[in-house]
Amino acid sequence: MTSYIGLLRGVNVGGKNKLKMAELRDALTKEGLIHVKTYIQSGNVFFDSEESEEGSRRRMEQIISTEFGLKVPVVIRSATEWQSMIESCPFHEEQIAKAQENAVGESLYVAMLAEPLRADVKEKLVSYASEKEECELIGRDVFLLFHDSIRNSKLATYLTRFNEYATVRNWKTINKIADMLPNDVT
């Protein structure tokens, strides 16, 4: 049995893809996912499953499509991968604090991808980095540090327009999710 986090892309944002988390929990539980719980309305789902990551992703997408009539991409991470992502943050506290000085809102985000970026996509993505927005790629995670704002970011826009299986969460949400993971995850 593996503990997973399912990250739904684009639900309850800007009035589109409305999906009540209580209804989603019920539907996922009814279809056999175990220990299902959610965190905030933006589509963060905790669950346990015997299925692989890919099988869990496909299953969640099918349930959302069948039960709610929505086509919602889902990115999955195991609880162990989630902890590893936090531990591997390439930006140091000083860098984050400096970025936060002038940032509007949060400054540190992670774009989580279903698959690692191809070399040509990485190259294009990195070309958008600047003094105001930085990125570091580690496996299937793209760490984004904004010295101004994520709004109108060329990095974030490129990632999410190019890849339907890219979903972004801010660092506070990422850490809150970590706090909610099962205690036996190392």
pLDDT for 14 equals 60
Domain architecture of the chain: domains with CATH: 2-81 (3.30.70.1280), 84-180 (3.30.70)
Sign of the dihedral defined by the CA atoms of residues 183, 165, 112, 72, in that order: negative
Q: Is residue 107 packed enough to be buried (19+ CB in 10 Å), middle (13-18) or exposed (0-12)? A: buried
In tens, the pLDDT along 115-143 reads 999 899 899 999 999 999 999 999 999 99
Non-local (6+) Cβ contacts of 90 within 8 A are 136, 138, 143
pLDDT for 186 equals 42
Q: Which of 36-40, 87-91, 117-121, 177-181 has the highest mean pLDDT?
A: 87-91
* Pick from 16-20, 28-32, 59-63, 91-95: least confident: 16-20
| Alpha helices, H only, the chain | 21-30, 53-68, 79-87, 93-102, 119-127, 154-162, 171-180
Is pLDDT at 185 greater than 70 in this prediction? no
Alpha-carbon distance values, 75 to 10, 17, 163, 179 (Å): 12, 16, 11, 19
What average pLDDT does the chain have? Answer: 90
Q: What is the pTM of this model?
A: 0.91
Distance CA 104, CA 151 (A): 9
Radius of gyration of the chain (CA): 16
Distance CA 83, CA 86 (A): 5
- Cβ neighbours of 5 (radius 10 Å): 23
